[in-house]
Chain A
Amino acid sequence: MSITRKILLPIMLMALVVLSVMVVFVTYDTDARANNDERRELTLLGLAFDNELTTLNGFALGLAVEVANNPGVQQAMADRNRAALEALVMPGYQALRKKFEIAQYQFHIPPATSFLRVHDPSKFGDDLSSFRPIVVAANREDKSLSGIEVGRAGFGIRGIAPIRAHDEHVGTVEFGIDIGNEFLSQLKTRYGADWQVLLSSKVAKIATFTEQNQPDKAGLTVQSSTLTHPFIDGAEAAAHPLNDEAFDTIEHRDGREFRVRWLPLKSFNGAQIGWVQILKDRSDFVALRNMRLMQAVGLIVLVLASLALLVSVIVTRVLRPLKPLTAASAAIARGDFSPDLAPYAQSRDEIGQLAQGMQSMSGQLSQLVNHLEDQVKERTGELHSANERIQQLNQALKADNQRMRTELDVARQIQQMIVPSSHEISSVPTLDIAAYMEPAEEVGGDYYDILQHEGQVCIGIGDVTGHGLESGLVMLMTQSAVRTLITLNETDPVRLMSTLNRTLFDNMQRMRSDKNLTLSLLHYQPDPAHADQGQLRIIGQHESVLIIRADGHFEDIDTLELGMPIGMIDDIAEFVAAAVVTLNAGDTVVLYTDGITEAANATDELFGSDRLKHTLLAHHRASAEAIKTAVIDAVRAHIGAQALYDDLTLIVLKQR
């Protein structure tokens, strides 16, 4: 339900109720006033009717009394002289007839015999006692009477007076004025209402009048009426039998509505003989009232319509900005901040405040969204450039990597090329030799060599600091220098090591390299006297030289004091010394680089010299090859899946 309808409906309902109550009240009040007016008017008309009857009564009685007091009439009645009487009264009657409707002018002699009908002189002498009670009563009681009487001659007002002559009752004289349509017409002319006289059918039968010839209803007959179509409301008549009080009814006839006052009609002796009906036509009032009612309803409809229009206009005007506001809020919900709310925000009412609120909210949202969009753009740009940078770096890294890989490949090739062949190794007659070298991924600078020259065997083992090509080159230079010096038969330990050091130191200065290397050189001299003995001289600083005697005795020869790192300082002469070991059959000599002892497992635990010692002790009786394999297996088992970080070099010598 729209807001307009929500506001309109209760207002309309309220207005409808109020207006309806007002109309009902006014209508009821109008009706009540009208009813009162009608009743009062009917009461007045009833009094007027009584008055008319009284006047007629007086008139009829007055005439009768006047005639009865005429001495000539008294004499003629006393004499029963009909002709004299007729002659006496006829001129007066003729004069009266010109002005009044005199239905009856009759003289009677007791008890009730018609003596002279002045209005019809030819008929006389008949006895009226059976149907003229008032005549009977006046003659019997010798007194004047007047009132309504229904007789054979009709229905009307009768005035009757006794005639006395010489103190003798000689008869009565009677004047009768008929009450009929003529009389009622006069009343209608005079007072404006309609009239009807309803007689008890029993009473009416007595009369000879048949002028109305209306059917009986509930024992009543219409005697006279001013209506074109006289009627009797049978139901009301039945509900109010004779001898009842006056009452009112509402009746409808010929398309008209009447308020009918029923007045009891009584004869001269007080007996009710019927009803006089005064009919007040209230059709105009009803029509007027109905018209007013219709007007009122029309007015209500008009008021409601105007009200609806007014409220609609006001509500629409008030709510008009809501439509664009609603649309705007929907637009904002879609992320469209274009709707301009400024025109609605100027209003000072709640809707204006709402528009202001929405405007500032929309603005903030728009800013926020735009800011976000900007930020996203900015970040996207940053990401883009970062990505480009990463790609550049990646390419550079690839290039570097490629270069390093190439360098490492070269270093590895140098190492592999320089390593002595298995033929060279196995060609030493008195020694069982096994050598192992495995370069790490990043080739370290491990060095070993086995050289034979003029019956001497020279075994070298060393480790250049660092990794890669530079270390490889230093190793290569070392190998060349050693080989050169051995070839030149330089056997003096100090000169040998000093010259080596000087050569490499100078070269490394030139290379601007800060590499250095540990290097031990072992000279083996077979004992000419004992084929299964030999002498081993050790010079130069490197790892320990391990000796496992044939009986399992383990010796660790520390080479620290036998030299200095090569290439670190210019002159190492003062630091060079030699250690000499005699080898017997079954004695084992083991040389290694720190790649063996510092091989680490996943928890960074080093293989260590203890494990090496134990492995050697367990396998020293085996061949050099088997011992070598056992140690390498043990190292492999120790590091597991870990990568090699340094070259592994191992040389096993066994005195045959």
Chain B
Amino acid sequence: MNTIEGENYAIALDEPSARLTMNGTLRLNGLDEYAPVSALLSRLLSLPTAPTLDLTCLGFLNSSGIAVLSKFVIEARTKQVAGLSIIGSETVPWQTKSLRNLQRLMPSLALSWQ
């Protein structure tokens, strides 16, 4: 299953292009509820192509979600995944600080703003 949809959000993984897009407002309760999202993020890292995480349309992500993203980046760093890029939006408040933290966690991560 490469898509997860909720009341206010949609997450889709396009395997051929190794691009995972997260849209909407993600406010799941705790790491347990984020498990499917974590699984999808792990799958993204297992793809042979250089993975891209597109967050430009993710308007809100709660602290659990940020923790999930941090773990994802640390996993990528551990696996030494090459060519990971994250696309964010400077107009979304939570992203400016959090995405920069992610990049600090993995300096090889290509962070681009849209």
Smallest Cβ distance from B59 to chain A, in angstroms? 12
Instruction: Given the known inter-chain contacts A465-B62, A515-B63, please indicate yes or no for A564 contacting B93, CB distance below 8 A.
Output: no
User: Distance (Å) between the CB of A571 and the closest chain B CB?
Assistant: 10
A-B contact count (CB 8 A): 34
Q: CA A592 – CA B112 in complex, angstroms?
A: 29
B residues whose Cβ falls under 8 Å from a Cβ of A: 30-31, 62-64, 66-67, 70, 74, 93, 97, 100-101, 104-105
CA distance A561 to B62 in the complex (A): 22
A514: CB under 8 A from chain B? yes
Bound CA span A560–B105, Å = 12
> Which residues of A sit under 8 angstroms from B31, Cβ to Cβ?
512, 514
CB of A516 within 8 A of CB of B67, answer yes
Are A466 and B97 in touch, CB under 8 angstroms?
Answer: no
Q: Is B63 a contact of A514 with CB atoms below 8 Å?
A: yes
Closest-CB distance, B65 to chain A (whole angstroms): 9
Contact between A568 and B62, CB atoms less than 8 A apart: no
How many residues from A make CB contacts under 8 Å with B? 15
What separation, in Å, do the CA atoms of A541 and B97 have in the docked complex?
Answer: 10
- Assembly CA distance A560 to B103 (angstroms): 12
Q: A514-B30, A516-B63, A564-B104 given. 8 additional CB < 8 A pairs?
A: A466-B62, A466-B63, A512-B31, A514-B64, A514-B67, A515-B63, A560-B101, A568-B67
B70 (CB) vs chain A CBs: closest residue: A568
A228 to chain B, nearest CB (A): 133
List the B side residues contacting A466 at CB < 8 Å. Answer: 62-63
Complexed CA–CA distance, A575 and B62 (Å)? 22
What's the least CB distance linking B76 to chain A, in Å? 13
Contacts of A354-397 to chain B: CB distance below 8 A: none
Output the least CB separation between B92 and chain A (Å).
13
Q: Closest approach, in angstroms, between the C-beta of A317 and any C-beta of chain B?
A: 74
Provide the bound-state CA to CA distance between A515 and B97, in Å: 17
A-B contact pairs, 19 of them (CB 8 A): A465-B63, A465-B66, A466-B63, A512-B30, A514-B67, A515-B63, A516-B63, A516-B67, A560-B97, A560-B100, A560-B101, A564-B104, A565-B101, A568-B66, A568-B67, A569-B70, A569-B74, A575-B104, A598-B93
Complex interface: chain A residues within 8 A of B64 (CB):
514
Shortest Cβ gap from A601 to chain B (Å): 16
7 closest A-B pairs by CB:
A465-B63, A514-B64, A514-B67, A514-B31, A568-B70, A466-B63, A568-B67
Assembled-state Cα–Cα distance A561/B107 (Å): 13
Residue on B nearest A561 in the bound complex, by CB: B104
A561 to B105, CA, bound (A): 11
Q: For A515, what are the chain B residues with a Cβ–Cβ distance below 8 Å?
A: 63
* CB nearest to B73 among chain A residues: A569
Q: What sequence of 0s and 1s flags, for each residue 554-585 of chain A, a beta carbon within 8 Å of any chain B beta carbon? A: 00000011001100110000010000000000
CA distance A111 to B70 in the complex (A): 191
A598–B67 Cα gap in the complex (Å)? 22
CB distance from A556 to the nearest CB of B (A): 14
Q: Which residue of B lies closest to A541 (CB)?
A: B101
Q: Is B93 touching A569 in the complex (CB atoms < 8 A)?
A: no
A598 to B60, CA, bound (A): 14
Q: Please, how many angstroms separate the alpha-carbon atoms of A565 and B67 in the complex?
A: 10
Cα(A598)–Cα(B62), bound, Å: 15
